[in-house]
């Protein structure tokens, strides 16, 4: 077991770190306040290969693994978890098109996805089906002429309204998980509309909106895979998504720990730096220890997924549950160490607290992660 990064991993980690420091960090606070979507900077990230990280090289991607992606997303999230998280979704969709699409679909969609000329969204959640994803109701009815007619609504869609392509889970058959298919819907298709962007606690550098389908006609040729395979695709995508969002939590927590370390060395109380007080030293020690433990779990889960390990789903659920809970707590502790200054936007810690809070909800709530973990344990017992 080797805990050191390879030469290649250090190279793309350093590339991501430099890009985050130069192009994301100086702007992240403004993007948050202005609710600005940084399209230009995301396209610059794509030029570095960060829009198709685990798309095979033969399809134009970078051809890296899930562990490599976790390393990259941690570095990007160190500057802005919201922006990094949008890129994780973009990569997830790119990977789905590469893996489940046919040659014609890959040739049609991937070139623009991999350059971020087109941004992409993933549509699974609905107003009435969040954790119970298999209960989705949005339906695609075959018209018998090579098209589907789609009706329904998707909720909490990152990139809703600005994305160019929506890879959508739709009911094409019965009410079971076997009745769900995966269809790519292009922006501009008649009948496709969007709700007003949600006013959110965090993740403000990316829009979130309802995606509405009203007699939306889409070619059957836009379906990825066969009818009935959509739910399987969705669940396979979620394992990787859980690693990605956990990695974004690592980046945000590491940033807050570094900010806190710098602050306690400068801030003075009772005639000396507050870093001299043992109570604060113990808090910093716990934060660093917990961050390291979370990273080890995330990297183990990513390596399991890369290796096709039979326990990969459990490892991913455990890493997501632990890392997102712990990293949010680290950010909150960093805010506490700042006292009243932590509540002020100038110090940036409050932005990380707000951005990381949603990580405990999306890609499956942490309560659902516990259900998955327990189920896998009981199956093996």
Catalytically annotated residues: 363
Cβ count near 368 (within 10 Å): 18
- Are 182 and 234 contacting, i.e. CB atoms less than 8 angstroms apart? yes
Exposed / middle / buried, residue 3 (Cβ in 10 Å: 0-12, 13-18, 19+): exposed
Cβ count near 191 (within 10 Å): 15
Evaluated on CA atoms 302, 308, 309, 312, the torsion sign reads positive
| Cα 370 from Cα 357, distance rounded (Å) | 18
Long-range contact set of residues 55-63: C-beta below 8 Å, sequence gap at least 24: 55/94, 55/95, 55/98, 55/110, 55/114, 56/98, 59/98, 59/106, 59/110, 60/110, 60/111, 60/114, 61/94, 61/98, 61/110, 61/114
CA distances from 278 to 26, 317, 337 (A): 33, 35, 13
| Cα 368 from Cα 323, distance rounded (Å) | 15
User: In 3-state terms, the chain is what percent helix, strand and coil (to 5)?
Assistant: 60, 15, 25
| Cα 322 from Cα 216, distance rounded (Å) | 40
For 293, the token pair is: 């433990």
For 95, the token pair is: 């990977």
155 in helix, strand or coil? strand
Phi-psi region of 157 (alpha: psi -120 to 50; beta: other; left: phi over 0): beta
| Cα 178 from Cα 214, distance rounded (Å) | 24
């Amino acid at each position: 077991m080797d805990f050191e990064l390879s030469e290649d991993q250090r190279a793309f980690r350093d590339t991501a770190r430099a890009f985050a420091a130069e192009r994301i960090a100086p702007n992240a606070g403004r993007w948050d306040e202005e609710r600005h979507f940084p399209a230009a900077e995301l396209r610059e990230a794509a030029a570095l290969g960060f829009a198709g990280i685990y798309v095979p090289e033969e399809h134009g991607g970078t051809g890296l693994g899930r562990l490599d992606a976790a390393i990259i997303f941690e570095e990007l999230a160190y500057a802005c978890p919201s922006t990094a998280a949008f890129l994780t979704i973009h990569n997830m969709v790119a990977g789905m098109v590469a893996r489940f699409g046919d040659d014609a679909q890959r040739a049609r969609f991937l070139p623009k996805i991999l350059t971020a000329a087109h941004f992409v969204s993933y549509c699974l959640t609905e107003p009435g089906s969040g954790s119970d994803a298999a209960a989705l109701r949005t339906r695609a009815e075959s018209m018998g002429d090579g098209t589907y007619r789609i009706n329904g609504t998707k909720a909490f869609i990152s990139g809703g309204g600005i994305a160019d392509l929506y890879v959508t889970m739709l009911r094409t058959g019965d009410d079971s998980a076997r009745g769900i298919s995966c269809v790519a819907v292009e922006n501009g298709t008649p009948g496709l509309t969007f709700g007003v962007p949600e006013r959110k606690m965090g993740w403000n550098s990316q829009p979130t909106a309802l995606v509405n389908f009203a007699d939306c006609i889409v070619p059957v040729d836009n379906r990825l895979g066969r009818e009935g395979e959509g739910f399987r695709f969705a669940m396979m995508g979620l394992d990787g998504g859980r690693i990605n969002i956990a990695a974004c939590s690592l980046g945000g927590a590491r940033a807050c720990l570094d900010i806190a370390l710098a602050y306690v060395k400068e801030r003075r109380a009772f005639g000396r730096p507050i870093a001299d007080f043992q109570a604060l030293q113990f808090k910093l020690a716990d934060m660093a220890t917990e961050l390291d433990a979370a990273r080890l779990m995330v990297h183990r889960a990513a390596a399991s997924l890369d290796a096709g390990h039979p326990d990969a789903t459990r490892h991913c659920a455990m890493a997501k549950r632990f890392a997102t809970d712990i990293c949010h707590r680290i950010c909150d502790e960093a805010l506490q160490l700042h006292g009243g200054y932590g509540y002020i936007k100038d110090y940036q810690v409050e932005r990380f607290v707000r951005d990381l809070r949603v990580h405990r909800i999306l890609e499956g709530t942490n309560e659902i992660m516990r259900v998955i973990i327990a189920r896998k344990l009981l199956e093996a017992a």
